[in-house]
Amino acid sequence: MLKFLTPDRKGAQEPYSYRSRARLVGECILELSEATQDDIVVLGRIHDSSHIDYLRKNNIRYIHDICDNKWPKLEKLWTNTNSTATAITTTCDELKQLIETKTDKPVYVIPDPTERQREEVKWHPNGILQAVYYGSAGNLKQINWDDYDIYTLELKVISNEGPIMWSYDTQGKYVKQSDFVLLPVDNTHDMSRYKGNNRPVDALMQGKFVVTNAEIPSWLTLKDYIWCGDIDKGIKYVKYNTNRVLDRVRAGQQHVIDNYSPGVISAQWQKVYENLTYNVKRYMRI
């Protein structure tokens, strides 16, 4: 079976890949000793060369799950990991194309599932529009808020370094209280175009419209349901196109359920597992 390695973080915050790409879809193990030669282990970002040495020594197949463009920072480790991986999985087509320039192993796209429950789409602004931003501190530091006319909004900003400290429940609370979600990005940053779309997907599931300037290919797949373009124009669109905004969010929620729910994504992992297992058995017969 597929077993996702999720080493004990000893109190440190879990990577998003633990939450969405492991705990929602498969069996998690703390130690590689919990895997056998009949399993395929999935290695996320939190692994090192000792894990690879163990898997090789014990003839256990593994998948390297890559969720961000960490080249060249992790190039030495990842080159070693990829050299004996059975396959690579990743979050989006753009990152798949990049990975294929780094390895000859098969690469499968499996998006992040959403763990958010579908919430009612509502629009009851009370005076000043309430907006919320959430993202990693790295993403937040790339934003120059002075570029945008946000001074007519009451904006809450959440990240793993504040000003509001991120947690799953905190994000859910402030999104629920907001009128819409504001997610500016730095499209020129090396990592941006390779990002998955979990942030806007989560917002849609909570019934909120997203305003973003993203040119990220995976985010643009949601362009029928969110605003992708000039931020200031997007804020005005929210203010003056209420019915259209609500219709787009409702349609977006159904799109998310059809494409990003845990059951759908679990089936994609299972399909990869079955494909890899079939290929091994076929090779052994030959």
**Position 171: which residue type?**
Q
Does residue 111 have a cis peptide bond before it, meaning omega lies within 30 degrees of 0? no
Residue 6: C-alpha distances to residues 42, 87, 161 (Å): 9, 18, 23
Cα–Cα distance measured from residue 261 to residue 113, given in angstroms and rounded to the nearest whole number: 5
Residues 109, 120 contacting (CB under 8 angstroms): no
Cα–Cα distance measured from residue 149 to residue 141, given in angstroms and rounded to the nearest whole number: 18
Cα–Cα distance measured from residue 92 to residue 97, given in angstroms and rounded to the nearest whole number: 9
Considering the entire predicted model, what is its pTM?
0.92
Number of Cβ within 10 Å of residue 188's Cβ equals 9
Cα–Cα nearest to 253, from 207, 210, 219? 207
Q: Could you read off the pLDDT of 92-121 as tens digits, one per residue?
A: 999 999 999 999 999 999 999 999 999 999
Secondary structure of 31-46 as H, E, C letters: CHHHCCCCCEEEECCC
Cα–Cα nearest to 65, from 3, 8, 115, 17? 17
- Residue ranges, the chain, pLDDT below 70: 279-286
Which H or E run contains 275? helix 262-285
Ramachandran region, residue 10 (left: φ > 0; alpha: ψ -120 to 50; beta: rest): left
Cα–Cα distance measured from residue 46 to residue 196, given in angstroms and rounded to the nearest whole number: 18
pLDDT of residue 125: 83
